[in-house]
Amino acid sequence: MTSNTENIPMPKSNRALFLEQMKRTFRSNKLTGVGAAIFLLVVLAAIFAPLLSTHDHIDQNILNRLEGPSDQFLMGTDAYGRDIYSRLLHGARISLIIGGVAIISAMIIGTAIGIIAGYYGGRTDDVIMQFNDILLSFPTLILGLIVVAMLGPSMQNMIIAISLTSIPGFTRIARAPTIVIRERDFIEACRALGYRDWRIMVYHILPNVLSDVMVMASLWLATAIRTEASLSFIGLGVKPPEATWGGMIREGFENILDNPWLSIFPGLAILLVVFSLNLLGDGLRDAIDPKTRED
């Protein structure tokens, strides 16, 4: 039969489409690219922390304690004579790992629950959303506090704590489009063709929900990192002598008048990461805007 699509260019591979979407995202708003670039730098710094460090970040050096930035110690030293710069780099690892793992696991769990709630509706939906709302109504910090207080401060428990605080957001974000999509005829077609519920949820609803979810993931990663820093700041984070940004700020407070750099640098680091993630996330959200969507 005649090709009714003869005027339309040939179909593209998934990779080509992805690259196109990326290009479109970054072209529309220059700041998105800035955000992405900065965040990428931070990630690279965290990955290559051992290589980029000038000193061992745990090594104490009482003779050099509380010094300002110098040739030897790029950002100065803390109360124990440890190089702030090196500690900052390793702290990046902690923040990114905790934030990243927490958000990814929250995303997986929350999205799954949200889709299930949205797809089945009725009592299932009611019950799930009630639990969700309970979780959501806890102030993030309090919830994290409770979990860490119960389980003890460790990287693992931090991840659990932050993940728990992030799950309800993902549930909501996944549930809303699910409710819309499940009414569409193509879902009914799936049921008419005998597809099981899980198949419909995974292969038909999830792909249509994913873009919404991933946009929020990048924004909430920023929140997760802030939460980790806050919990570390009040002493519930990863135990010393491991370097965490929140912990470093806290330690810095005790010597804030002598050497403000102790708190300023980690503070700036947190600011930078959160800011870059927000730029990136906002840019993604604008790009995913229904106006630019194919459907």
Instruction: Give the interface with other proteins as residue ranges (CB under 8 A).
Output: 1-5, 7-8, 10-11, 184-186, 188-189, 191-195, 199, 203-204, 207-208, 293-295
Residue placing its CB nearer to other proteins in the complex, 133 or 188:
188
Residue placing its CB nearer to other proteins in the complex, 105 or 208:
208
Residue placing its CB nearer to other proteins in the complex, 34 or 210:
210
Tell the smallest beta-carbon distance from residue 207 to other proteins (Å).
4
CA dist 23 → 19, 30, 283 (Å): 6, 11, 12
Residue placing its CB nearer to other proteins in the complex, 10 or 150:
10
Tell the smallest beta-carbon distance from residue 195 to other proteins (Å).
6
Token output for 96: 């990114």
Residue placing its CB nearer to other proteins in the complex, 167 or 181:
181
Q: How far apart are CA 238 and CA 140, in angstroms?
A: 18
Token output for 188: 């009914």
Tell the smallest beta-carbon distance from residue 5 to other proteins (Å).
6
Residue placing its CB nearer to other proteins in the complex, 48 or 293:
293
Tell the smallest beta-carbon distance from residue 98 to other proteins (Å).
32
Residues 6+ apart with CB under 8 A from 289: none
Q: How far apart are CA 113 and CA 206, in angstroms?
A: 11
Residues 6+ apart with CB under 8 A from 190: 199, 200, 204
Tell the smallest beta-carbon distance from residue 95 to other proteins (Å).
34
- Residue 155 burial class via C-beta count within 10 angstroms: exposed 0-12, middle 13-18, buried 19 and up: middle
Q: How far apart are CA 184 and CA 171, in angstroms?
A: 21
Residues 6+ apart with CB under 8 A from 154: 238, 239
* Single-letter amino acid, residue 138: F
Residue placing its CB nearer to other proteins in the complex, 143 or 205:
205
Tell the smallest beta-carbon distance from residue 170 to other proteins (Å).
19
Asked if 81 and 63 count as a contact pair (C-beta separation under 8 A), the reply is yes
Tell the smallest beta-carbon distance from residue 119 to other proteins (Å).
15
Residue placing its CB nearer to other proteins in the complex, 6 or 71:
6
Q: Report the 3 state secondary structure along 225-293.
A: HHHHHHHHHCCCCCCCCCCCHHHHHHHHHHCCCCCCHHHHHHHHHHHHHHHHHHHHHHHHHHHHCHHHC
Q: How far apart are CA 217 and CA 222, in angstroms?
A: 9
Tell the smallest beta-carbon distance from residue 120 to other proteins (Å).
15
